[in-house]
């Protein structure tokens, strides 16, 4: 059956900068009476010094603890009582907050975000309380789950050489215990300034009205000295790094591999994004076909390109059956990587990767919430491109850079980066009670 | 120079409410008798599809738990025309996804595709639903992986909590099984799957929902072709005895060595989604633990710091739902946490909600309803649920009015009639030795191993 011509799609946007340096990016769409407000701060775990790991994330929790005109707990109730949802997320690269509201409550969301950007109020009791909440979050997400520590924390600590990149977002509980109210206040002054943030609004609103509200609520929040830039550069590796970890909660073995790869927007990174789809995306992808289907050795294969503003990682994680060996699994992964280094990728694989990337823009990668069909997805994409790249136009133009990647470029990037000396290999041994055999 | 404006110290009022235009649904029947509900959405050149078949784990034969799940899994592992690799390749080259999954009540074959490739994708969807191969080597591999996955799941505290909770709350009803057994999986053959498929996967037992940038004339033509030859089977569904209601509170510990946290899941049965009490209970659930500004979140997390995640849930199943509360807490505070959570239910029974809480919960439900409808997947899921859970056909159109109509009196009646801290099953996954004595005050304690 004939494949029809691609239908064009375009996200409209307007970028403004306030006197205090706050960048504001707006994207109107009136199809649903919903509006998304995103505030993206240029601070993440990468900014944490030794002895203060986990602080950026703990601070994210503090942002819900009250400001001059919004008491503790009221941030949630103002948003939800008016029909909205909200959340915050911290990564190594950034901290992001969002509200999705019925569109007639846009000004409320702006007021809430402005009030905490201007006048966050923290006290010892709230700090202590949120420290306990974060400790439970770590027990829930990491300490009590099989593979979570090895795959989500240890692998990164081994794969990166620069502390700024290597340490985890959740951080160490000892470091969190050492954090003081003064740390919280200093962190707020340094990083939560209008000139260190991007505000993005997408959905059902009128641009002039929205801008007026933005100026009214954010316009006179004073700017601060720009924070010191973080050095996230990574030295080149000359030898492969290998480690073994026994996971007392796991009952199956697993192998995790991470290769160091270049930062966002380096030319090779687009080729590696295509490689990601060739190896991992869908059941016809090479590693699933080989390890799960043909060799029947793995339960599942995941991984791919993990983008960062600075150097990133290309990872692979395979949980495999107890009667297989680490050597067998590694040999199979190596064989697929080497095949691409020698013969490149097929035209059909390239086409598949291109179409998958085009479709992912709408589907979103995390269960749909963040795809470009939602106001939140559009606001987030615009905010990322504005803060990281200084260019919201990329929301429309970057696609072409993926579509332009050639088979040769994929082969070259694989040959250059997916080599043993550039990688970390972690063997995870099951330490839980052996599985019972009937 | 800009003029200085004073800082605004009170929340700004809302502007005029903009109307939510509900997506217009068109209904067709294909030549072969498959019902289709179409919602045109031209915002993005993309289409979301859900073929729902009324067969779920509740239809598993008593001795073969997991059959609906394995059948759904193997459905996409090759057709009579294409081996599994060829099939996956054909789908994925379109930039599409196509997968099948069974829940308790129904199986969903869900797909997404770039609009330009829709007719090819429909052809593949028809092929996999009508003529799955259930090839012996594919079924063998799926069985082996299901057994390994089951063993892996038994290391996950959340799975263990849900498994035990379902057993205790649903008793002999088929909803009590959330996973297959190794024994049952080993006994399944390609023929078992094929017979199960032939019995339930039929146009008179299914519905196709399509949301996206679609030309309806073209769609109908493509569908007639893709589902040609699919014949109605006169599918019959067995009625099950409803699960028994609980008379006392009991404690069920799943002993998981090495746990650093206790996974708590406690609750009891709740009305079916098509009963009048369901919606008021949804309002109550929202206020109690369905959102961040809820009583449980503010008290157990924000005041006490006992948990990162504490919430309540109202599940939607066709034959019997469940109301539950969950939290993951450190072992030292497990007693206090359970007490705090049960106390919230007792307070609610005594005093009901405040007028303010009621309004807030209604606003939240109506606001998030609009947010859900901002994605194709959200619209498709709403429509599929109406059909599969036997809700009134105009449920979407009347939803917001029905929410608005809930009064304090209705809420209080429903809370008293349907919620009870005294009759909950309390499931706790953790180190039994560490938590047993803290949980004894809440009811008779039973301990089982995790493995």
Tell me if B245 sits within 8 A of B173, measured CB to CB.
no
Nearest residue of A to residue B116, measured between CA atoms: A4
pTM score above 0.95: no
A281 to chain B: which residues are within 8 Å by CB?
A: 92
Helix (H, G, I), strand (E, B) or coil at A338: helix
Given the candidates 3.30.830.10, 3.40.50.2300, 2.60.120.260, 2.10.109.10, the CATH classification of the domain at A14-218 is 3.30.830.10
Q: Where in chain A are the domains?
A: 14-218, 241-430
Closest Cα to residue A95, out of A17, A43, A59? A43
Given the candidates 3.40.190.10, 3.40.50.1100, 1.10.10.10, 3.30.830.10, the CATH classification of the domain at A241-430 is 3.30.830.10
Helices (H) and strands (E) in chain B, counts: 16, 12
The count of residues in chain A is 438
Q: Is B187 on the interface with A (CB under 8 A)?
A: no
Residue B302 and residue A248: Cβ atoms within 8 Å? no
Helix (H, G, I), strand (E, B) or coil at B48: strand
To which H or E segment does residue A25 belong? strand A23-28
**How far apart are the C-alpha atoms of B255 and A202, rounded to whole Å?**
48
Predicted ipTM? Answer: 0.92
Residue that the structure tokens 């990468």 belong to: A46
To which H or E segment does residue B200 belong? helix B190-200
Q: How many angstroms away from the CA of A105 is the closest CA of chain B?
A: 5
Residue A358 and residue B95: Cβ atoms within 8 Å? yes
Q: What is the pLDDT of residue A435?
A: 39
CA dihedral B263, B269, B275, B280 (to 10 degrees): -50
Residue B92 and residue A80: Cβ atoms within 8 Å? no
Residue that the structure tokens 């769409």 belong to: A29
β A241-247/A298-306 pair status: unpaired
Q: Which residues pair with A333 in a beta bridge?
A: none
Query: From start to end of A221-267, where are the E strands?
Result: 241-247, 254-261
- Would you give the distance in Å from CA A187 to the centre of its chain? 21
Q: What is the pLDDT of residue B239?
A: 87
Q: How many angstroms away from the CA of B256 is the closest CA of chain A?
A: 9
Q: Is B309 on the interface with A (CB under 8 A)?
A: yes
Rg (CA), chain B: 24
**How far apart are the C-alpha atoms of A23 and B86, rounded to whole Å?**
48
Lowest model confidence (mean pLDDT) among A37-51, A139-153, B78-92, B158-172: A139-153
Burial B52-67 (b: 16+ CB within 10 A, else e): bbbbbbbbbeeebbbb
A251 to chain B: which residues are within 8 Å by CB?
A: 151-152, 154-155
Token pair listed for B354: 């405040």
Helix (H, G, I), strand (E, B) or coil at B221: helix
**How far apart are the C-alpha atoms of A146 and A435, rounded to whole Å?**
14
- Would you give the distance in Å from CA B267 to the centre of its chain? 17
Residue A428: φ, ψ to 5°: -110, 115
For the stretch B215-222, contacts whose Cβ atoms lie closer than 8 Å and that sit 24 or more positions apart, written own/partner, are B216/B26, B216/B28, B216/B38, B216/B40, B218/B119, B219/B36, B219/B38, B219/B118, B219/B122, B220/B28, B220/B30, B220/B36, B222/B118, B222/B119, B222/B122, B222/B123
**How far apart are the C-alpha atoms of A293 and B138, rounded to whole Å?**
9
In words, the CATH class of domain B250-449 is alpha beta
Angle between helices B278-289 and B395-404 (to 10 degrees): 60
Residue that the structure tokens 């307070």 belong to: B347
* CA dihedral for A333, A339, A342, A343, sign (positive or negative): negative
The residues, ordered by sequence, that sit 6+ positions from A397 with a Cβ below 8 Å of its Cβ are none
What CATH superfamily is the domain B25-226?
Metalloenzyme, LuxS/M16 peptidase-like (3.30.830.10)
Q: How many angstroms away from the CA of A36 is the closest CA of chain B?
A: 10
> Residue A50 burial (CB < 10 Å; 0-12/13-18/19+)?
exposed
Q: What is the pLDDT of residue A214?
A: 98
Q: What is the pLDDT of residue B304?
A: 84
Helix (H, G, I), strand (E, B) or coil at A288: helix
Angle between helices B278-289 and B334-351 (to 10 degrees): 130
To which H or E segment does residue B90 belong? helix B84-92
Predicted confidence (pLDDT) at residue B451 exceeds the cutoff of 60: yes
Same fold, A14-218 and A241-430: yes
Terminal Cα distance for chain A, rounded: 50
Which residues between 381 and 420 in chain B have a beta carbon less than 8 angstroms from any beta carbon of chain A?
A: none
- What is the arithmetic mean of pLDDT over B115-128? 96
Q: What is the pLDDT of residue A129?
A: 87
Q: How many angstroms away from the CA of B367 is the closest CA of chain A?
A: 4
Helix (H, G, I), strand (E, B) or coil at B52: strand
**How far apart are the C-alpha atoms of A13 and A25, rounded to whole Å?**
7
Nearest to B46 among A137, A299, A359 (CB): A359
A285 to chain B: which residues are within 8 Å by CB?
A: 92
B95 to chain A: which residues are within 8 Å by CB?
A: 352, 354-359
Beta-carbon-side half-sphere exposure of residue A336 (alpha carbons within 13 Å): 20
Looking at residue B423, the DSSP 8-state letter turns out to be: G
Residue B84 and residue A132: Cβ atoms within 8 Å? no
For every one of its 438 residues, what pLDDT tens digit does chain A have, with 9 covering 90 and above?
Answer: 344 566 789 999 999 999 999 999 999 999 899 999 999 999 999 999 999 999 999 999 999 999 999 998 899 999 999 999 999 999 999 999 999 999 999 999 999 999 999 999 989 988 998 898 888 888 888 888 889 999 999 999 999 999 999 999 999 999 999 999 999 899 999 999 999 999 999 999 999 999 999 999 999 999 999 999 999 999 999 999 999 999 988 999 999 999 999 998 888 999 999 999 999 999 999 999 999 999 999 999 999 999 899 999 999 999 999 999 999 999 999 999 999 999 999 999 999 999 999 999 998 765 445 689 999 999 999 999 999 999 999 999 999 999 999 999 999 999 999 999 999 999 999 987 543 333
Q: What is the pLDDT of residue A433?
A: 53
Looking at residue B132, the DSSP 8-state letter turns out to be: B
> Residue B1 burial (CB < 10 Å; 0-12/13-18/19+)?
exposed
**How far apart are the C-alpha atoms of B251 and B245, rounded to whole Å?**
16
Pinpoint the alpha helices (H) of A281-346: 286-287, 326-343
Q: Where in chain B are the domains?
A: 25-226, 250-449
């Amino acid at each position: 059956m004939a494949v029809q011509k691609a239908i064009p799609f375009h996200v409209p946007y307007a970028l403004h900068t306030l006197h205090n340096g706050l960048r504001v990016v707006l994207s109107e769409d009136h199809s649903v009476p919903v509006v998304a407000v995103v505030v993206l701060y240029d601070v993440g775990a990468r900014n944490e010094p030794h002895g203060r790991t986990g602080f950026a994330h703990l601070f994210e929790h503090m942002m819900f603890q009250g400001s001059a005109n919004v008491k503790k707990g009221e941030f949630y109730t103002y948003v939800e009582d008016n029909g909205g949802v909200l959340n915050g997320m911290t990564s190594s690269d950034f901290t992001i907050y969002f509200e999705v509201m019925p569109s007639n409550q846009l000004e409320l969301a702006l007021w809430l975000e402005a009030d905490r950007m201007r006048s966050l109020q923290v006290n010892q009791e709230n700090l202590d309380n949120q420290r306990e909440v974060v400790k439970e979050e770590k027990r829930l997400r990491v300490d009590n789950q099989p593979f979570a520590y090895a795959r989500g924390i240890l692998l990164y600590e081994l794969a990166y050489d620069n502390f700024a990149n290597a340490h985890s977002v959740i951080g160490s509980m000892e470091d969190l215990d050492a954090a003081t109210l003064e740390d919280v206040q200093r962190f707020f002054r340094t990083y939560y300034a209008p000139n260190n943030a991007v505000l993005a609004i997408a959905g059902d609103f009128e641009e002039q009205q929205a801008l007026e509200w933005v100026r009214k609520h954010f316009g006179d929040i004073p700017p601060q000295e720009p924070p010191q830039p973080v050095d996230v550069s990574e030295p080149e590796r000359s030898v492969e790094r290998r480690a073994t970890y026994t996971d007392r909660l796991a009952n199956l073995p697993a192998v995790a591999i991470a290769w160091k790869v270049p930062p966002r927007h380096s030319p090779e990174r687009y080729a590696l994004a295509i490689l990601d789809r060739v190896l991992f995306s869908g059941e016809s992808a090479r590693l699933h076909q080989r390890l799960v289907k043909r060799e029947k050795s793995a339960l599942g294969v995941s991984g791919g390109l993990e983008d960062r503003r600075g150097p990133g990682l290309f990872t692979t994680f395979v949980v495999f059956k107890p009667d297989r060996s680490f050597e067998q699994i590694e040999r199979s992964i190596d064989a697929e990587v080497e095949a691409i280094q020698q013969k490149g990728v097929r035209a059909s694989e390239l086409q598949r990767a291109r179409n998958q990337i085009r479709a992912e823009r709408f589907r979103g990668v995390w269960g749909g919430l963040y795809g470009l069909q939602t106001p939140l997805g559009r606001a987030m994409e615009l905010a990322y491109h504005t803060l990281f790249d200084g260019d919201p136009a990329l929301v429309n133009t970057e696609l072409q850079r993926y579509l332009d990647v050639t088979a040769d470029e994929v082969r070259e990037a694989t040959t250059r980066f997916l080599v043993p000396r550039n990688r970390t290999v972690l063997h995870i041994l099951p330490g839980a009670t052996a599985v019972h055999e009937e | 120079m800009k003029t200085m404006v004073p800082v605004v110290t009170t929340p700004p009022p809302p502007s005029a409410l903009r109307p939510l235009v509900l997506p217009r649904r068109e209904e067709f029947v294909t030549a072969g008798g498959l019902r289709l509900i179409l919602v045109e959405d031209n915002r993005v050149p993309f289409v979301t599809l859900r073929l729902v078949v009324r067969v779920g784990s509740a239809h598993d034969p008593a001795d073969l738990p997991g059959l609906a799940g394995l059948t759904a899994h193997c459905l996409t592992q090759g057709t009579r025309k294409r081996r599994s690799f060829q099939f996956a390749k054909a789908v994925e080259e379109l930039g599409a996804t196509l997968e099948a999954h069974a829940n308790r009540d129904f199986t969903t074959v869900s797909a997404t595709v770039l609009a330009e490739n829709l007719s090819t994708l429909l052809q593949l969807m028809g092929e996999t639903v009508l003529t799955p191969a259930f090839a012996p080597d594919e079924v063998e591999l799926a069985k082996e992986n299901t057994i390994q996955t089951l063993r892996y799941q038994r290391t996950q505290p959340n799975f263990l909590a849900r498994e035990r909770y379902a057993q205790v709350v649903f008793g002999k009803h088929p909803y009590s099984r959330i996973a297959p057994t190794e024994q049952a999986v080993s006994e399944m053959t390609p023929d078992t799957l094929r017979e199960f498929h032939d019995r339930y996967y039929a146009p008179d037992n299914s519905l196709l929902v399509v949301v996206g940038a679609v030309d309806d004339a073209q769609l109908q033509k493509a569908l007639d072709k893709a589902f040609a030859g699919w014949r109605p089977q006169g599918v019959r569904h067995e009625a099950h005895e409803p699960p028994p209601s609980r008379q006392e509170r009991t404690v069920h510990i799943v002993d998981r060595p090495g746990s650093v946290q206790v996974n708590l899941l406690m609750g009891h049965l709740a009305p079916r989604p098509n009963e009048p009490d369901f919606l008021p209970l949804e309002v109550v659930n929202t206020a109690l633990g369905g959102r961040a500004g809820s009583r449980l979140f503010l008290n157990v997390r924000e005041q006490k710091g006992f948990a990162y995640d504490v919430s309540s849930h109202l599940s939607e199943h066709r034959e019997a739902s469940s109301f539950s509360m969950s939290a993951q807490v450190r072992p030292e505070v497990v007693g206090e946490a359970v007490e705090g959570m049960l106390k919230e239910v007792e307070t609610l029974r005594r005093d009901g909600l405040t007028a303010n809480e009621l309004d807030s919960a209604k606003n939240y439900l109506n606001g998030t309803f609009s947010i859900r409808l901002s994605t194709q997947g959200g619209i498709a899921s709403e429509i599929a649920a109406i059909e599969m859970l036997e809700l009134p056909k105009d449920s979407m159109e009347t939803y917001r009015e029905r929410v608005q109509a809930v009064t304090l009196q209705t809420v209080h009646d429903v809370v008293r009639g349907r919620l009870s801290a005294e009759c909950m099953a309390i499931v706790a996954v953790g180190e039994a030795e560490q938590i047993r004595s803290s949980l004894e005050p809440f009811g008779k304690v039973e301990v089982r191993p995790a493995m």
